[in-house]
Amino acid sequence: MKLVVLAGGFGTRLQSVVADIPKALAPIANIPFLQLQIEHWKSQGIYSFVFLLHHQSDLIIDFLKNQQNDTLKDCQIAWLVEPEPMGTGGAVAYAIKQLHFSGDFLLTNADTWLGNGIKQLLDAPSPAMVIVKVDNASRYGCVELDDQNTVKVFHEKRSYNASGYINAGLCLLHPGLFKDLNNKPFSLEQILFPFLANNGILTAVPINTDFIDIGIPDDYFRFCRWIESGKKVKL
């Protein structure tokens, strides 16, 4: 199964503490975050990767080339640089057209760590997304399900603290979902996922596992402490 990795963002919120490099290469105990991610994805059985790039793409490409005889040994890898920012959905649609995708594929964010979920997701019907429950969903927005684990609605981010299920940044999709969206910048979270939910065809896969998005300084430092402790402190 192919894992498509969204790694083209500008990482604006993290630039105050990680300057001059893309967010995906943020150092974690002197190891690039993306290297830890690749090792973790391989431990879950993934050996085929497509990296969707834009901001500082040359640095990520250099990293991938340097890892071809190390972390990425025995892996199939490809990368694609968007000519302009296309949003999360536009980047995927562009890759589908340029790289001639066929069949289901996994999609994830380069900056989101998820303890597991790939196996569970592959057992679900496509389209599907992994969701996790967090104590404070205000930063992410909540996912509401029915009793069949079908996504009913996505609730917007809120200004008050509340627990709930959130999109964990790992999805199982197929190219047909993007056939009318090629060459149009758009957001998966704002356009495609709500459309699928409104039509009752997006399956939720709830899992209980480690989750963190390193996109803000507090969470980046929290992840650093977790890795440096040997994953012993609370994430």
pTM of the model: 0.95
188: left (phi over 0), alpha (psi -120 to 50) or beta: alpha
Q: What is the pLDDT of residue 159?
A: 56
User: What domains can you pick out in the chain, each with its CATH number?
Assistant: 2-228 (3.90.550.10)
Quote the pLDDT of residue 19: 81
Of 32-46, 181-195, 214-228, minimum mean pLDDT range? 181-195
Least confident of 30-34, 161-165, 180-184: 180-184
Does the pLDDT of residue 222 top 90, yes or no? yes
Mean pLDDT of the chain: 93
- Residue 160 pLDDT exceeds 60: no
Query: Does residue 60 carry a pLDDT above 80?
Result: yes
pLDDT score for 182? 65
Please determine, for residue 35, whether its predicted confidence score (pLDDT) is greater than 70. yes
How is the chain classified by DSSP, letter by letter? -EEEEE-----GGGTTTS-SS-GGG-EETTEEHHHHHHHHHHHTT--EEEEEE-TTHHHHHHHHHHTTTTTTTT-EEEEEE-SS--HHHHHHHHHHHHHT--S-EEEEETTEEESS-HHHHHTSPSSEEEEEEES--TTT--EEE-TTSBEEEEPPP-SS---EEEEEEEEEE-GGGGTT-TT----IIIIIHHHHHHTT--EEEE----EEETTSHHHHHHHHHHHHTTS-S--
Q: For 76, phi and psi rounded to 5 degrees? A: -95, 125
Report the C-alpha gap between 233 and 222 in whole angstroms.
9
pLDDT, one tens digit per residue, over 65-122 is 999 999 999 999 999 999 999 999 999 999 999 999 999 999 999 999 999 999 999 9
Q: Average pLDDT of 13-38?
A: 92
What integer is the mean pLDDT of 60-64?
Answer: 98
Chain segment 199-210, per-residue pLDDT in tens: 999 999 999 999
Of 7-11, 105-109, 138-142, the range with the highest mean pLDDT is: 105-109
